[in-house]
Chain A
Amino acid sequence: GEDVEQSLFLSVREGDSSVINCTYTDSSSTYLYWYKQEPGAGLQLLTYIFSNMDMKQDQRLTVLLNKKDKHLSLRIADTQTGDSAIYFCAETFSSGSARQLTFGSGTQLTVLP
């Protein structure tokens, strides 16, 4: 079955870069997503990448995809205290279908002043 794994915790200093990693097992994954969840809130879509891409950059966010190793990462440049949250990676098979997302366990990012 599908499996998406993340490390549970990450701490960085304010101003440093954060790199959150994710591995998945479903080689047929089409889209891979990064979501941010703040305490008591829903999920905010940060960015997503199509499986035929290696990299996507959006302002402070850089997503890297190694499809051979089934490894996805999210780099946050110049991390701020407001970036403290839980970050979920997720994958789905096909954009054309209404297939649900499969989520990782989430990585708690703590930004230290």
Chain B
Amino acid sequence: GAVVSQHPSWVICKSGTSVKIECRSLDFQATTMFWYRQFPKQSLMLMATSNEGSKATYEQGVEKDKFLINHASLTLSTLTVTSAHPEDSSFYICSARDQRTGNTEAFFGQGTRLTVV
């Protein structure tokens, strides 16, 4: 299957700082990528839909100024957690659909474990 790569795999940052997470589709182009958040022992909750060349669409309750999304190319979307606080600590996962398969299959990155201290 297609490969989606996230970087970094884990990050520890101080409260008040900003952290950028990258999501790359390595062998396919994706006009749309999705960002999810997963709390321990829980399912994935969609945060936002990242659209190449336009603004992201945020789910209800997700602060767009807090979680900045940029999708500048067909293979890269970034999520920046601004002024991070301990409650932002979570597992963040991105996914992208392979347009070659008609958007049927959604592939996921390996996730980024964010810990804010």
Which residues of A are interface residues toward B (Cβ below 8 A)?
A: 31, 33, 35, 40-45, 48, 88, 92, 95-98, 100-101, 103-106
Contact = CB atoms under 8 A, between A and B. Distances in A.
* Consensus secondary structure, chain B interface: strand
B54 to A, nearest CB: 12
B95 A101 contact: yes
Given A43-B93, A45-B1, 6 more contacts: A45-B107, A88-B43, A88-B44, A92-B106, A98-B103, A106-B42
Nearest to A30: B104
Chain B, interface residues (CB within 8 Å), range: 20 to 34
Contacts, number: 55
Interface of B: 1, 4, 6, 31-32, 34, 42-44, 46, 49, 51, 93, 95, 97, 102-111, 113
A45 B106 contact: yes
Nearest to A4: B43
A95 B100 CA distance: 11
